[in-house]
Chains A and B, each alone.
Chain A
Amino acid sequence: MNIKVIVAIVVLAAGLMLGVMNFMESNVEYADFNTAEQSGRKVQVKGVWMKDLESGFNAEKAQFTFYMKDDNQRIMKVVLEGAKPNNFELAESVVAKGRHESDHFHATEVLTKCPSKYEGDAEAVKNTL
């Protein structure tokens, strides 16, 4: 076989391998607080914001702290690097991305899952009559 073709195939295979490895590595797995605590790895945890428990923004550290209950009903303090996410009050559930630290879950990102547009609409349409 042509040497050029072989080189091309090798380069291609290496590139694809790197791509696949990258893909696996950067795909943050879903977990609950228990597994997050045990593994200590970066995971994403889905849950609901405990509105009754304290939450607030620490201006000095620029961190937003709140309490979140995961699907196993475990409540955990979550410290987010940054301000309160948009739509936080409206969210029916939130997803925190980060890792467990000694007494809290340290999140680098919190995504909010908002009620499907059309569920809220029937209510909204009555309000605008």
Chain B
Amino acid sequence: MTAGILGALFVKGAFLAALGSAFFYYRGSRNHHAIVPLARMSFHAAVIGLMSAAAILLYLILTNQFQYAYVWNYSSTDLPLPLLISTFYAGQEGSFTLWALYTALIGVFLMQYSMKREYEPEVMSVYSLILSFLLLMLIVKNPFEFIWDRFPDDLIRTGPIPAGVGLYVLLDDARSVWAQYPAEGKGLNPLLQNYWMVIHPQILFVGFSAMAVPYANAVAGLMRRDYTSWIRVATPWLVFGAMILGLGIILGGYWAYETLGWGGFWGWDPVENSSLVPWLLCVATIHTTLVQRKNGAYLRTNFALSILTFLAVLYSTFLTRSGVLGETSVHSFVDPGMWVYWLLLGCIVLFTAIGFGYLWVRSREMPLQPVQHSIFSREFALFLGAFALFFMAIFVTIGTSSPIITTIAKGKASAVEMSYYVKTNLPLGVIVAFLSGLGQLLWWKHSSGGSVLRSMMPSLGVAAAGTALLAVFATEEPAILLLAFCAVFSLVANAQVGYGIYAGNPKFIGGSVAHIGIALLFLGFISSERYDEQKTLTLEKGIPVQALGYEMTYKGYVPVDRDRYGFLVEMKKNGKIHTVAPTMYYSDFTKGLMRHPDLKNLLTRDVYVAPLSLEEPTSGRREQALELMKGEEGTAGDLKIRFRDFGDVDRTAMIEGREFSISAKLRVLESKSVKPKDVTVTILGSQSGMKPVPATLTTTDGKSYELILDRIMPDREDPSRSKVALKVVLPEDPSVPARGETLVVEASIKPMINLVWMGTVTLVVGFLLTIVRRIQEARQIGPSTES
């Protein structure tokens, strides 16, 4: 119990220390250098406090302390260790803790980094302020809340403690107030019980945390009227943020593809969009800062974009964490309460005011650098590319905010369809793909049309040939053809330029490699999303079905991982056999059926099988129920059945608990016959229960009926009104097909989806190479030489 109180204290202490650090650093930046060591100490104190709080939370989760609301809400005793760790960030309190923790840890590196570049007081004052706001969130949304504080009416009692109440804790000894608490947690959402969830949120939150650094750098630059060299200090962090966040986004996409069964890796879901927008802005910033390095233009643009990148992180958090999106998405957004809502909104307003307020004040004294470049220059290509990325970010933001916009405009929240995102982003994607190739071929300042054209020849040629092939073999929309053309062009152009750079100065190859990654991603998107073949298959057990070029057979189910079942589907092609096992199970947590797809990753394609439902076997014989009074006649199929009387019951056997039987005497008449038959149907009774014994009846034309005594309903007052309930199984009817156990799946082929994963790896490598180069550059130049 004390651990949680200690944890909450650590959070509060860390908040005060971070706030103090922000203040002391700010004083330090106003020429009170003596105070800087104190600011450093405060920051370190905040980091240690937060780390301690996080360690306590992890300890509470690992030791199943369900007296804490958070642990109870997201964990349970049956979770294996990796999943227990991932419950740390399964809820809002925990994921804010993780975000704050990574912000703090990055801050430790940032402090060292900016100290060397004499940028520490300004950068760290802004950064500490950001950290303190994240910590304030943890005070409002306390991860260490006791469960009886959340449910006081249900758990807190007064008076003597009755025996056998289970787990309880005495709150007030004098007034005998005590609280019960659970011995088991609610458990982790099965969608999150997945190894991707152990790694993917961590990477995303490192990315989110890293986005605060360019903001801090930009504001620091404004504070000390340094409008140029702050960029060199900020660039490695921009690239680092873009790399980590990009990786997190793709991993999230893979989780959706592999676990959620979306059928694709991207669904334009608010949660996905909310990490995409900061990434787009961050990448746009990387490109516009390149121009400023070269010719000093875009001073204001670079400040604005750096500030905006972080604001996009805050706005995204607001959208997905404040409950404003309500139920317009497949993710369910828990309403966290008014406090979080207003705090997040306050955060956005404050950091917008600081960033853009400072920019507005300073922009009047910033030198106006006229933009001097021709259309045939790398600067212009960079500018246009950044512009397109910026507009992508705007369109995605507008789409994601649709529930808010429509609430204001129409009074009722509604989300946009996926087609909105495709239609708005496709033309911009074409521009980005084209420029990512062209920009690399152009020279700074000015390129002569002829030389550019000459250097473009190989890539244009390959792209034209590829696109022509595509146009011949697949009917395709012009927009997609154009995107394919631009992607191939960019791929070849960057390979060509990259080779040239590699021969000259391999250190500078990062940009080309990253662009090759982007081109591969584009091609992967086109091939896997546009050329996927999809089919709903009804697979009866053991019977092969030809589909999508495979012979698919459902082989039955096997238990996998605890109480889940995998449904084995065998896929045969050219003598090779692959087996996939999509799973379906009933989840107590969601009170519904959970379905997870399975896929076979082949070199040129994925075969993706998503389960829809399992149909019980049907025999093809229908059943008919009859209720007959004594002497009454009923019809079933070709039979007329009359209930004559009950058979004799051995009452002594019944009382003594020996086996006994209840029977009914029937007279059955075929419609095509005149001679009735007498049939007796019985129920055998024993200590283990009642079991009907079916009576089979074959008619003169060879059809087989089954008569079953279902129930007897004796009438004690008037025995002549006693009834029996019969079930008659009718003979096989060719119009009702007999069918074994049947699995219904949605199978699809995703051609060349490996291009997406290849592109991701290439992109990350490109970013890494760039970070190395930019860190070296930031070290060589240093702040004092330019500012």
- Chain A residues near B (Cβ < 8 Å): 15, 18-19, 22-23, 25-30, 44, 57, 59-60, 62, 82-84, 86-90, 95, 111, 113-114, 116-118, 121-122, 124-126, 128-129
Chain B neighbourhood of A95, CB < 8 A: 327
Give the complex CA separation of A127 and B328 in angstroms.
Answer: 30
**From A126, which residue of chain B is reached at the shortest CB distance?**
B154
Give the complex CA separation of A82 and B412 in angstroms.
Answer: 27
Query: Quick one: which of A22, A57, A86, A118 contacts B420, CB cutoff 8 A?
Result: A22
Shortest beta-carbon distance from B738 to chain A in Å: 14
Chain A neighbourhood of B395, CB < 8 A: 19
Question: Per-position contact with A for B367-402: 1 when CB-CB < 8 Å, else 0?
Answer: 000000000000000000000000100010011001
In the complex the two chains form, is B183's CB within 8 Å of A128's CB? yes
Query: Quick one: which of A23, A44, A57, A83 contacts B398, CB cutoff 8 A?
Result: A23
26 contacts between A and B (CB under 8 A): A25-B420, A26-B416, A26-B419, A27-B402, A27-B416, A27-B420, A44-B414, A57-B612, A59-B613, A59-B742, A82-B612, A84-B593, A86-B592, A86-B594, A88-B592, A90-B591, A113-B327, A116-B334, A121-B151, A124-B186, A125-B154, A128-B182, A128-B183, A128-B185, A129-B166, A129-B183
Give the complex CA separation of A19 and B402 in angstroms.
Answer: 13
In the complex the two chains form, is B154's CB within 8 Å of A27's CB? no
In the complex the two chains form, is B613's CB within 8 Å of A122's CB? no
Is B780 positioned at the interface, with any CB of A under 8 Å from its CB?
no
Shortest beta-carbon distance from B321 to chain A in Å: 14
In the complex the two chains form, is A129's CB within 8 Å of B182's CB? yes
In the complex the two chains form, is B184's CB within 8 Å of A128's CB? yes
Given known contacts A88-B592, A111-B330, A128-B186, A60 and B538 CB-to-CB distance under 8 angstroms: yes
Query: In terms of DSSP, what is the predominant structure of the interface of chain B?
Result: mixed
5 nearest interchain CB pairs? A26-B420, A128-B182, A62-B536, A83-B612, A26-B417
Chain A neighbourhood of B334, CB < 8 A: 116-118
Chain B 131-189 residues near chain A, CB threshold 8 A: 147, 150-151, 153-155, 166-167, 180-186
Question: Per-position contact with A for B66-88: 1 when CB-CB < 8 Å, else 0?
Answer: 10000011000000000000000
Query: Quick one: which of B330, B424, B613 contacts A22, CB cutoff 8 A?
Result: B424
In the complex the two chains form, is A59's CB within 8 Å of B538's CB? yes
Give the complex CA separation of A23 and B421 in angstroms.
Answer: 9
Give the complex CA separation of A86 and B587 in angstroms.
Answer: 10
In the complex the two chains form, is B612's CB within 8 Å of A29's CB? no
In the complex the two chains form, is A86's CB within 8 Å of B398's CB? no
Shortest beta-carbon distance from B216 to chain A in Å: 31
Query: Quick one: which of B332, B412, B415, B613 contacts A57, CB cutoff 8 A?
Result: B613
In the complex the two chains form, is B398's CB within 8 Å of A90's CB? no
Chain B 402-427 residues near chain A, CB threshold 8 A: 402, 406, 410, 412, 414-417, 419-420, 423-424
Shortest beta-carbon distance from A57 to chain B in Å: 5
Interface centre among B154, B334, B417, B590 (most CB of A within 10 A): B417
Shortest beta-carbon distance from B619 to chain A in Å: 16
In the complex the two chains form, is A15's CB within 8 Å of B186's CB? no
In the complex the two chains form, is A30's CB within 8 Å of B414's CB? yes
Is B678 positioned at the interface, with any CB of A under 8 Å from its CB?
no
Give the complex CA separation of A62 and B538 in angstroms.
Answer: 9
Give the complex CA separation of A98 and B757 in angstroms.
Answer: 34
Is B595 positioned at the interface, with any CB of A under 8 Å from its CB?
yes
Shortest beta-carbon distance from B675 to chain A in Å: 42
Shortest beta-carbon distance from B329 to chain A in Å: 8
